[in-house]
Structure 1
Amino acid sequence: MKKPLVGALLGLVLAGAGVAPAVAAPATAPAAAPDRATAQAVTVDFAGTVALSNCSGSVVKMPGSQPNDPALVLSNGHCLETGFPAAGQVIVDQPSSRSFTLLNSTGGRAGTVRASKISYATMTDTDISLYQLTSTYAQIESKYGIKALEISADHPVQGTAIKVVSGYWKRIYSCNIDGFVYRMKEGGWTWKDSVRYTSSCNTIGGTSGSPVIDTATGKVVAVNNTGNESGQSCTVNNPCEVDEAGNVTVRQGINYAQQTYWLVGCMGTGNKVDLSRPGCVLPKP
């Protein structure tokens, strides 16, 4: 997991991988997706991103969010102030007073926003945390001049040009979506349909939770969460890829994200997470 080196992580080893890994060189960038090959890129900067005490994040809205809805902050499940959720654990509507440093377009400090609760968080199937704030989108825009980033309702596309925007480090990484991973395993956790970057997104500790932005639309398509640091297989900080046949591949130096369109199908009126909605595929408690 791409957290700052503020403490030792548990060296958990995946149980039951059952297949000897094939060590692969970092993949090269594929051709751009046909429908985006001539798309004009939008400006991507730090506006709307946040710095957590241990990670990065962003103020986000759903396609159906309204100005007077309580705003949301997106980050990783492993960035929670309470520590890593266990495999199989899902957190819903847990009180939180966590504060976030809101950044402007240049990466300067615009102000501070505060959570009222953790709306949703898990490290099962995905690695996501979603905080509800005490402020509405309209209040944040009026006070700070900052608009929320919109989460795309669509599955991202291979070859898409993206930027990974870290509020913690105030750094932007540029690369493409190299492909998607059927299952990715790291320690005791398993994630589905993960996004794999091309090699130029060489994200580091502290970039966890950064929004992954499609440069053609300006929308968030994923949340940055991990990378294989030392070439080990399926251990903490060394995720492995598992295909549908159970074959394991290790790509040292390659980094990954978790898709965010899942959130859109699970969001009800007033930015309320509703896991009972038809089509919602997020894990349930």
Structure 2
Amino acid sequence: MNSAESFGMSADTDSVTSLVRDTVTSTTATLDQVLNPKVQAVNFAGTVSLSNCSGSVVRFSDSEDNDPALVMSNGHCLESGMPGPGEVVVDQASSRTFGLLNASGSRVANLRANKLVYGTMTDTDVSFYQLTTTYGQIKSSYGIDALTMAETHPVAGTAITVASGYWKRLYSCNIDGFAYSLKEGDWTFKDSVRYTSPCKPIGGTSGSPVIDHATNKVVAVSNTGNEDGQRCTINNPCEVDESGNVTVRQGISYAQQTYQIPACFGVDNKLDLNASGCVLPKP
């Protein structure tokens, strides 16, 4: 479990030439933007470092600036240890701190939680902490926006970056595909994101947001990889298909999708596991 000389023309001629050049350049730029929309460069802004893992300050499309901010990481990164199979932890007091990073990866603040909202390693591997500060306060104090979580299933081939606040390291690759079931030790994760080989996160990158280059939105949370080629053991997850066939991909890493999570949070960022469309495991 686990990143441009002058040619001596007259002033009038120069003006006309400049006008033509600017017009052509502007038109070319506009066409280029339409035909080849530029992706947003992924950086560290909004990511955080935990004592043992990575994470990010996240918000949903309907979150408001005065809502208490949330930090997302992995369930296996909980300060209380890894939840057992089938275990779901909700609404527990916590004073955990998180190092907030700016775009360049510099630590600009320590944020503090007042509770662990949710944590599990069943079906997925995710945790959410509620902070003592709001999104608006973080923005006004540090100029940093929370990362927005996507609400649609990611697509194979998508260019992504795994942004590790713990190591201050970015890993860029593509979504290779999805594992129907990913088994690691006693735990099983569903519909996991499989990275292409350039993304090889290491220990401490667990909990890193997986960011879509085209939208700059979070599509998954990074959590594990097969290190030694072993079959279905800790740090060596295996893929299991619908028929029960097992595939081991040594050196390949994975993340857990997050598109279904926004449905579980309502007004004021309050967790509601009974909300329509919420499929997160319940206690």
TM-score by length of 2: 0.88
Q: Distance in 1 between matches of 2:62 and 2:93?
A: 24
Look up the SS of the partner of 1:284 in the other structure. Answer: coil
Q: Counterparts of 1:41 and 1:73 in 2: how far apart (Å)? A: 25
Structure-1 residue corresponding to 2:98: 100
Give the partner amino acid of 1:150: T
Q: State how far apart, in whole Å, the 1-side matches of 2:150 and 2:37 are.
A: 17
| 1:263 CA displacement | 1.0
Is the partner of 2:139 in helix, strand or coil? helix
Secondary structure (helix, strand or coil) at the match of 1:261 reads coil
Equivalent residue, structure 2, for 1:143? 141
- Supply the AA of the counterpart residue of 1:100: F
For residue 259 of structure 2, the aligned residue among 237, 258, 261 is: 261
Q: Does 1:86 align with 2:84?
A: yes
- Deviation, structure 1 residue 40: 2.4
2:235 to 231, 234, 237: 237
- In structure 1, the residue corresponding to 2:248 is in which secondary structure? strand
Q: Distance in 1 between matches of 2:41 and 2:177?
A: 24
Counterpart of 2:280? 282
Structure 1 residues 122-133: aligned runs within 5 Å: 122-133=120-131
Q: Which digits, 9 at most, give the CA deviation of each residue in 1:204-230, with x for residues without a partner?
A: 000000000000000000000000000
- Partner secondary structure for residue 58 of structure 1: strand
> Secondary structure of 1:236's partner?
coil
CA distance in 1, matches of 2:135, 2:277: 26
Match of 1:205 among 178, 203, 206: 203
The one-letter amino acid paired with 1:58 is S
Distance (whole Å) between structure 1 residues aligned to residue 243 and residue 223 of structure 2? 25
Once the two structures are superposed, residues 1-24 of structure 1 have per-residue CA deviations (whole angstroms, 9 ceiling, x without a partner) of 11xxxxxxxxxxxxxxxxxxxxxx
Letter in 2 for 1:73: V
1:39 CA drift (Å)? 4.6
Aligned sequence identity (%): 68
Deviation at residue 43 of structure 1 after TM alignment: 1.5
The one-letter code matched in structure 1 to 2:249 is R
8 A Cα contact 2:87 2:120, kept in partner: yes
* Partner Cα separation in structure 2 for residue 174 and residue 199 of structure 1: 10
| Alignment-derived partner of residue 13 in structure 2 | none
Aligned position for 2:5: none
Q: Which residue does the alignment assign to 2:31?
A: none
4+ residue runs of structure 1 moved beyond 6 angstroms?
none
**1:1-285 pair list within 5 angstroms:** 1-2=1-2, 38-285=36-283
d(CA) in 2 for partners of 1:43 and 1:198? 19
C-alpha separation between the residues in 2 aligned to 1:113 and 1:262?
26
SS in 2 for 1:245: coil
Q: Report if the CA contact (8 A) 2:260-2:277 is conserved.
A: no
Residues 129-176 of structure 1: per-residue CA shift (max 9 Å, x gap): 010000000011111111000000111011000000000000000000
Cα distance in 1 between the residues matched to 2:231 and 2:38: 39
Unaligned runs of 5+ in 1: 3-36
Query: Which structure has the greater CA radius of gyration?
Result: 2
Q: CA offsets per residue over residues 14-43 of structure 1, 9 Å max, x none?
A: xxxxxxxxxxxxxxxxxxxxxxx9552111
How many Å separate the matches in 2 of 1:161 and 1:200? 11
Aligned-residue Cα RMSD (Å) equals: 0.9
Paired with 1:267 and 1:64, the residues of 2 have a C-alpha distance of 10
Write the distance in 1 (CA, Å) between the matches of 2:188 and 2:92.
23
Number of residue pairs aligned between Structure 1 and Structure 2 = 251
- Determine the C-alpha separation between the residues in 2 that align with 1:185 and 1:206: 20
State the TM-score, normalizing by the size of structure 1: 0.87
Residue deviations 1:97-147, cap 9 Å, x none? 000000011000110100011111100000000100000000111111110
Tell me the distance in 1 between the aligned counterparts of 2:168 and 2:82. Answer: 24
Q: Which runs of 5+ in 2 are unaligned?
A: 3-34
Q: Which has the higher contact order (CA 8 A, sep 6+)?
A: 1
Distance 1:270-1:230 versus aligned 2 partners, 3 A rule: same
